Structure 1
Amino acid sequence: MTSHESADALTLYGQTFASRVLLGTSRYPSLQSLSDSIDAARPGMVTVALRRQMNEGNAEAGFFELLKRHGVPLLPNTAGCLSVGEAVTTAHMAREIFETEWIKLELIGDDYTLQPDPVGLIEAAARLVKDGFKVLPYCTEDLVIGRRLLDAGCEALMPWGAPIGTGKGVINPYGLRVLRERLPDVPLIVDAGLGVPSHAAQVMEWGFDGVLLNTAVSQATHPDAMARAFALGVEAGRQAYLAGPMAERESAHASTPVVGMPFWHQDGGAA
């Protein structure tokens, strides 16, 4: 990274990452498609759902070797866990297998919306932080829940934009923007529900610190091209945020100055 890029790098738990894009590894058409998408997005981390890979038999030969070959930091997650005990046990298994203290904590409370269980999430986060994990909790945009997770020891949050896999984009802009405004110093990564690069650019323009993508890339017609498009969208949104967007106005304001205009335009007369 250049010195400018290093100064603006994503920092989580004191560690910096080369990109503000985090990329999931599930449901790609093939291992080659996954590999090409990682090359295209150049993510700061890639996630792996240990429980689903093992329990559902989706661990294709060479999957873990591919991830090691790319050399991108791994972020194991507890996807598919429905209880605090399951989530904590899965996190410990992941630490043993991948030799990392990083964990994306998912604890689902509703099978239909896949909404996180807020009560269990706080309990699980507190236990894992105590056990030495660097916890990135998948949560909703609820400010109070976010604060409780921070109280439990989390140093970053991963609020959803919309339910997992819907591709709807941000369904509660107000809630997400309030979360950003009220927690200005907390790294916030929008996780779940984004469908197209403009969704990612939008949340980055609001000042979010990164996005995590999976379905929007893996289920695209050309995953690697979509991965690159998202990376560009994230970069554009971040640069726009740093540039300081103009204030939104309720009425038109001419971009051309009045000085030097023909007199009949200045006084409202007709030529």
Structure 2
Amino acid sequence: MTTSIDKLIIGNKVFNSRLMLGTGKYKTPRDAHESIQASECEIVTVAIRRLPTNLTHDSSSFLNTLNWEKLWLLPNTAGSQTAEEAIRMAFLGHELACQIGQEENFFVKLEVISDPKYLLPDPIGTLKAAEFLVKKGFTVLPYINADPILALHLEDLGCATVMPLGSPIGSGQGLNNLANIKIIIENAGVPVIVDAGIGAPSEATAAMELGADGILLNTAVAQSKNPAQMALAMNLAVQSGRLGYLAGRMEKKHYANASSPLDQISKS
């Protein structure tokens, strides 16, 4: 386990878990529940477009079945093709957070995606929406391409994190943008959450070993043969990667170095 002082801080909130989980694409609600529990995540993201406008009038909604005393809602503007759409979705997200008793929750996962084939985020629309929402008091977590300069611009605007994609969303291709993610991590003054493309626990570990502050994923768990088991694997992978990063990797060498040197044996 990570140390008690190693917390993830986003905006004014402190979290123990560095794994965030999406709620879409599960075959059954039971799979989603069991996966959230196994992951030990504290942040769950929900696409605002998929939710009823009034949860109090829809007792069957998935959100009403979750324990919001232990979980923090991260409304997601997925499906927004323009900055204006994303801004509207962000305000709806806050209204939904209020309905589950999180009146102080102004978190929003900002997605502006105008590309229907590869679902790559629109950098200009994201910057525009982020600037507006930050000024309105939102805690903005922007989903972006692995662009180090864009990440710095969003941080300068006041975003609480930057969330570069490892590879296209839902693709399971892994960390195709590793070099740029590394640059983002080196330069960022806010948490870096790797979001999208991770398909296996080893990839989550690799991102965390690099120094990422957290991982957000959905499809890798929801579309696995055993979602709850994969959620547990991702949970352990994130913890393992974080511990490895904090411990500090040994220096690579160009030659062999015996773990039991002969000179020590001869002296014994």
Give the alignment partner of residue 232 of structure 1, picking from 226, 231, 236: 236
In the alignment, which residue of structure 1 is the partner of 2:167? 162
RMSD: 2.0
- Secondary structure of 1:125's aligned partner: helix
Residue in 2 that maps onto 1:119? 124
2:147 corresponds to 1:150: no
Q: AA paired with 1:97? A: L
Contact 1:52 1:80 in 2 (8 A): no
Structure 1 or 2, whichever has the larger Rg, is 1
Q: Equivalents in 2 of 1:188, 1:134: separation in Å? A: 14
Say yes or no: does 1:194 pair with 2:198.
yes
Structure 1 unmatched runs, 5+: 263-271
SS at match of 1:162: coil
- The count of aligned residue pairs is 256
Are 1:259 and 2:263 matched, yes or no?
Answer: yes
The Cα shift of 1:216 comes to 0.3
The alignment status of 1:140 with 2:140, answered yes or no, reads no
**Preserved contact between residue 125 and residue 152 of structure 1 (Cα < 8 Å):** yes
For the pair 1:128 / 2:133, whether they are aligned, the reply is: yes
Partner residue, 1:10: 8
Where does residue 101 of structure 1 map in the other structure?
A: 106
Task: Tell me if structure 2 keeps the 8 A contact 1:129–1:135.
Answer: yes
Q: Distance in 1 between matches of 2:123 and 2:76?
A: 17
Structure 1 counterpart SS, 2:235 = helix
Measured against aligned partners, the alpha-carbon deviations of 1:152-175 in whole angstroms (never above 9, x if no partner) come to: 111211111110001111002111
Do the aligned residues in 2 keep the contact of 1:52 with 1:79 (CA within 8 Å)?
no
Alignment match, 1:31: 29
Residues 2-46 of structure 1: per-residue CA shift (max 9 Å, x gap): 9x7431011111311120010000011111111101110010200
Displacement of 1:151: 1.7
CA distance in 2 between partners of 1:260 and 1:54 (Å):
70
CA shift, 1:64, in A, is 1.6
Preserved CA contact (<8 Å) 2:80 2:114: no
Amino acid at match of 2:239: E
Seen in structure 2, the aligned counterparts of structure 1 residues 27 and 260 have a Cα distance that, compared at 3 Å, is closer
What is the percent sequence identity of the aligned residues? 42
Q: Which runs of 5+ in 2 are unaligned?
A: 99-104
**Alpha-carbon deviation of 1:261?**
5.8
Counterpart CA distance in 1 for 2:151 and 2:263 is 51
Separation of aligned partners in 1, 2:151 and 2:264: 54
Question: Quick one: structure 1 residues 143 and 161, their matched pair in 2 at CA, closer, same or farther if it must change by over 3 Å?
Answer: same
Mapped pair 1:242 → 2:246? yes
Counterpart of 1:73 in structure 2 is: 72
The whole-number CA distance in structure 2 between the counterparts of 1:113 and 1:226 is 25
TM-score, with structure 2 as normaliser: 0.90
| Aligned amino acid, residue 143 of structure 1 | P
Aligned match of 1:181: 186
CA contact (8 A) 1:28 1:219 kept: yes
Q: How much does 1:247 deviate?
A: 1.4
> 1:92: which partner in 2?
91
Give the superposition deviation at 1:258.
3.3
Q: Give the 3-state SS of the residue equivalent to 2:127 in structure 1.
A: helix
Which residue identity does 1:48 align to in structure 2?
V
